[in-house]
Each structure stands twice: as C-alpha cells, then as structure tokens.
C-alpha cells in the first residue's frame, strides 16, 4: 500500500517459489491487481472440496492484507 515497504509480495513470492509453485499477476480493467498462486498437490494428499464461485465481484473473499494490521 501507499507508504509500504513492499515486503509482503516479495515474501509471498519467495514462499510460493520455495514450494514449487507459481505466482501470476494481472491488472483487471477496473484497476488494482489480481494475484493467482498455484501450488503443486502431493500425490495421494487429501483434497478439499472446491468453494462455490462468487456470484458478484463484491463477494470475492479477500485474504491478503497490505500494510500494518
């Protein structure tokens, strides 16, 4: 965020790459940024049921915080 040190994204990128994953960023037409993290699933690992897709953009869960809590 404004005035931030930019460490959050660097730490996420490092953790994702260390675990064999990828981090992709896109810029939607309305502004902002969308990040997609893809991590490999170990063979034989338990899988979780998929979450239902959001009905509107306002219902997209946000779990990333940028800045002090």
36 membership: H or E segment, kind and range: strand 34-38
Q: For the chain, what is the domain count?
A: 1
**What is the residue range of 24's domain?**
1-39
> Is 24 domain-assigned?
yes
> Is 21 domain-assigned?
yes
**Burial label, 6 (beta-carbon count in 10 A; 0-12, 13-18, 19+):** exposed
Q: Within the chain, where are the H helices?
A: 7-18
Does the pTM surpass 0.85? The reply is no
Asked if 61 and 69 count as a contact pair (C-beta separation under 8 A), the reply is no
Q: pLDDT tier at 60 (50, 70, 90 boundaries)?
A: low
- Over residues 6-48, the pLDDT tens digits come to 678 889 899 999 989 999 998 888 888 888 898 887 776 666 6
């Amino acid at each position: 965020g404004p005035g931030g040190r930019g460490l959050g994204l660097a730490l996420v990128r490092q953790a994702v790459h260390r675990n064999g994953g990828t981090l992709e960023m896109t810029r939607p037409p309305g502004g902002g940024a969308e990040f997609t993290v893809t991590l490999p699933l170990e063979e034989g690992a338990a899988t979780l049921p998929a979450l239902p897709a959001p009905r509107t953009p306002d219902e997209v869960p946000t779990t990333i915080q940028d800045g002090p809590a």
